[in-house]
Amino acid sequence: MYGILTYKQSLNNNKDDIIARVIEKTNYIYTIITENGKCFKAETVTNLSTSDVFVGDFVTYTNFDNNYIITSVLPRTSTISKGTSHASKSYHVLEQEQILAVNVEQVFILIAANQRFTLPKFERYVLTFYQQNVDLHILISKGDYTNLASNIMNKIKSVYPDFKVTIFSNLQKDTLTNIISLFNKNRTSILLGSSGVGKSTLINELVNFDNVITNDVREDGKGKHTTTTTKMFYSSLTESYLIDSPGFKTISTTNEMDSTVLFQDIHDLALNCKFKDCTHTHEPKCAVLNAVENGSISEEYYKRYRENLRVTTGLLRHEQRKRQK
């Protein structure tokens, strides 16, 4: 049930704990599912802060007078997060890391065929969510825009031929079979992407029961459904657990990123830089700058590398602020 058994087996001790999994979080109330598949609303014990428990967490709990209380959070295998900006009183933009979900084995980044696609934005997504122990897939959604979808596919493949990229459309049911086969059985995955790329619609297709996201709930009064909470579902089609998440407008991270996933050429070259901590921006005998100069890597590629590192580390905002002063 919801990976609880597998998780329990991976623990060395504590085998007798009563473990549940958090499948939804709304402010201070959690929905937990127990080993035998029962769902309960739960709160946390007072010494556990709400910023300590997330969707996907395995937790211990007690039942007291029919009130369910989460007593502790068990070790996580992965944490999926992104940066979020808060304007503080002094109008400084504070960059904080916001955890979207935990104990996730597969990440699916959705890019809609009919939205403007740029490689730098794509790279920012990948840099934000790539981690070594998580299986990353790119899904080009709204594949019914056939030409637009294959243009995006070509752009990605021209620079990153090894990336796992799949086109699908929620309107073309036959394309969904390709999607279903990507999910690993009994594993947990999260769907990520900008608002409106079709995450909830896809989950509705994969989770064949009636109580999923009902799209006629019009939360914003504009006739458009928007996911506002992160929520986990079981799909009997994929035989796995799927997490729907609110779409985002911007994307950044304050985490240390592993940029080797994208800019392998630059990392290879960097081995030959004179200085070990070379930033490849101004240093003498920089192998990367040399390669740009003699044309063995393109200026555009190098620019994207620099731009991405700046954006993802919040450096860009810092520079913008400095310029505004």
Ligand X SMILES: Nc1nc2c(ncn2[C@@H]2O[C@H](COP(=O)(O)OP(=O)(O)OP(=O)(O)O)[C@@H](O)[C@H]2O)c(=O)[nH]1
**Interface with Zn ion by CB under 5 A: which residues?**
273, 278, 280, 286, 288
- The dihedral built from the CA positions of residue 118, 243, 79 and 160, taken in this order, carries a sign that is negative
Interacting partner of 195 out of ligand X, Zn ion, none (Cβ under 5 to 8 A depending on kind): ligand X
Q: CA-to-CA distance for 304 and 23, rounded, in angstroms?
A: 37
Q: CA-to-CA distance for 236 and 220, rounded, in angstroms?
A: 31
Please report how close the Cβ of residue 31 comes to ligand X at its closest, in angstroms. Answer: 19
Interacting partner of 106 out of ligand X, Zn ion, none (Cβ under 5 to 8 A depending on kind): none
Interacting partner of 83 out of Zn ion, ligand X, none (Cβ under 5 to 8 A depending on kind): none
Is 108 buried (19+), middle (13-18) or exposed (0-12) by CB count in 10 A? buried
Interacting partner of 247 out of ligand X, Zn ion, none (Cβ under 5 to 8 A depending on kind): ligand X
Q: Which residues bind ligand X (CB under 6 A)?
A: 141-142, 144, 169-171, 193, 195-201, 225-227, 246-247
CB 252 within 8 A of CB 82: yes
**Residues of the chain by 3-state class (helix, strand, coil), percent to 5:** 30, 25, 45
Interacting partner of 81 out of ligand X, Zn ion, none (Cβ under 5 to 8 A depending on kind): none
Residue 261's SS3 state is: helix
Q: Which CB atom, from 3 or from 198, has the smaller least distance to ligand X? A: 198
Q: Which CB atom, from 170 or from 252, has the smaller least distance to ligand X? A: 170
Q: Which CB atom, from 188 or from 200, has the smaller least distance to ligand X? A: 200
Please report how close the Cβ of residue 197 comes to Zn ion at its closest, in angstroms. Answer: 37
Q: Which CB atom, from 119 or from 288, has the smaller least distance to Zn ion? A: 288
Please report how close the Cβ of residue 76 comes to ligand X at its closest, in angstroms. Answer: 24
Of 97, 128, 262, the C-alpha closest to 193 is: 128
Q: Which CB atom, from 3 or from 143, has the smaller least distance to ligand X? A: 143
Please report how close the Cβ of residue 127 comes to ligand X at its closest, in angstroms. Answer: 21
- Cβ atoms within 10 A of the Cβ of 256, count? 8
Interacting partner of 197 out of Zn ion, ligand X, none (Cβ under 5 to 8 A depending on kind): ligand X
Q: Which CB atom, from 42 or from 269, has the smaller least distance to Zn ion? A: 269
Is 130 buried (19+), middle (13-18) or exposed (0-12) by CB count in 10 A? middle
DSSP character at residue 90: T
Interacting partner of 22 out of ligand X, Zn ion, none (Cβ under 5 to 8 A depending on kind): none
DSSP character at residue 76: P
Please report how close the Cβ of residue 90 comes to Zn ion at its closest, in angstroms. Answer: 36
Beta bridge partners of 34: 20
Specify the residue for token string 């089609």: 237
Please report how close the Cβ of residue 253 comes to ligand X at its closest, in angstroms. Answer: 19
Please report how close the Cβ of residue 259 comes to Zn ion at its closest, in angstroms. Answer: 14
Please report how close the Cβ of residue 146 comes to ligand X at its closest, in angstroms. Answer: 11
Interacting partner of 273 out of ligand X, Zn ion, none (Cβ under 5 to 8 A depending on kind): Zn ion
Of 179, 189, 270, 163, the C-alpha closest to 2 is: 189
Q: CA-to-CA distance for 252 and 124, rounded, in angstroms?
A: 7
Q: CA-to-CA distance for 165 and 156, rounded, in angstroms?
A: 8
CB 121 within 8 A of CB 94: no
Identity of the residue numbered 110:
L
